[in-house]
Amino acid sequence: MSTLFSPFRLGTRVLKNRIVVSPMCQYSAEDGCATDWHMIHLGHLALSGAGLLFVEATAVSPEGRIAASDLGLWSDDNEAALRRVVDAIRRYAPPLALGIQLAHAGRKASTDVPWAGGHFILPEQGGWQTLAPSALAYAPGDAAPRALDTAGLERVRGEFVTAAQRAERLGFDVIELHAAHGYLLHEFLSPLSNVRDDRYGGSLENRMRFPLEVFDAMRAALHADVPLGVRISATDWVEGGWDIAQSLAFAEALRRRGCAFIDVSSGGLSPAQQIPVAPGYQLPFAAQIRGETGMPTMAVGLITDPHQAENIVAGGHADLVALARGMLYDPRWPWHAAAELGARADAPKQYWAAPPHGHGTLFKRDKDAE
């Protein structure tokens, strides 16, 4: 039996298999509201046969958007637009868990969309004032962010809580707090971007304080049966920056607070990063965090081959594997992985005739339901 296609309990939720569709920014929202693009994009990924589908990084405030066309969840209009997408997936897709990643871009906000260059946009050019733990720009030429004061910290913490409550009201099964890729909460963690001299800067304990406060506030605002996890960058890939030792301390602090999982990525904080990109290059971090804290982990980063994914979970390196670009390239990757591994996949009735000759038992049917 394939471990990749075995069920996995994530907090109170049981996933049908260990395959996760990672959050992937689409830059196709209008004033934070999901559009028909999200209906198409998320709708067809919901038919993939994955066990868990994450909605893209969703901004908790207008200032927290990476680009003006980011998805958001700060208003009633945002919530109503996303409900339309969620309801359609619930009605037509096979059983899968739906997750959402809540985020604030910090000093990496106010940029153009990637296909237009992704450059920083000044307020006078249509951008906005960015926020960060310290007034340090991400890259040369970027305007300096405004360092958050006490009132600003309280406001941002509240924005995460309100967005989490909206996500719960929408019926999301899993919520992920984004503390990776150089965005706001990662900026607090890393000594490269956080040079504060108050209780939120300096020591590791102080740099972890605000991200942990945000997690605590969200956890307290959600019902106990909603799994709340965190995505981290295990290392900045820059000397003197955030690293795996600090990530282990952060993961342990999260474990004590009831964190349901750690989604282990890396990098994104500094243009000076030197990343040794290769298949599974982030896997050792996920394995170490899993081994030393006992927390469920998601492995991400150039996982494209079904046997590679099978070996990751069967070997105990991670509990779940998450695909992003690979899923965009092949939105039926879980079907093809099931065929390769001799497993069975979920698919809607309308697609039961899809498997080629010799794979007639690939899909689970109603009679197979547990």
Cβ distance 21 to 54 under 8 Å? yes
Cβ distance 10 to 97 under 8 Å? yes
Q: What is the C-alpha separation between 89 and 55, in angstroms, rounded? A: 12
Q: What is the C-alpha separation between 85 and 83, in angstroms, rounded? A: 5
Can you say whether residue 181 is alpha, beta or left, with left for phi > 0 and alpha for psi between -120 and 50 degrees? left
Q: What is the C-alpha separation between 102 and 99, in angstroms, rounded? A: 10
Residue 183 annotated in active site: yes
Output DSSP code: residue 94. Answer: P
> What amino acid is encoded at 174 in this protein?
V
**Given 27, 138, 183, 200, the catalytic residue:** 183
Cβ distance 137 to 110 under 8 Å? no
Distances in Å between the Cα of 147 and the Cα atoms of 87, 133, 136, 188 are: 39, 5, 8, 11
Q: What is the C-alpha separation between 92 and 43, in angstroms, rounded? A: 9
Strands (E), 11-144: 13-15, 19-21, 52-59, 97-103, 131-132
Output DSSP code: residue 176. Answer: E
Q: Is 316 exposed, middle or buried (0-12, 13-18, 19+ CB in 10 A)?
A: exposed
**β-pairing, 8-10 with 13-15?**
antiparallel
Angle subtended by helix axes 244-256 and 204-221, to nearest 10: 40
Polymer length in residues for the chain:
370
Q: Which residues of 40-53 are buried (b: 16+ CB within 10 A; e: fewer)?
A: ebbeebbbbbbbbb
Cα of 118 vs its chain's centroid, Å:
20
Residues carrying an active site annotation: 183
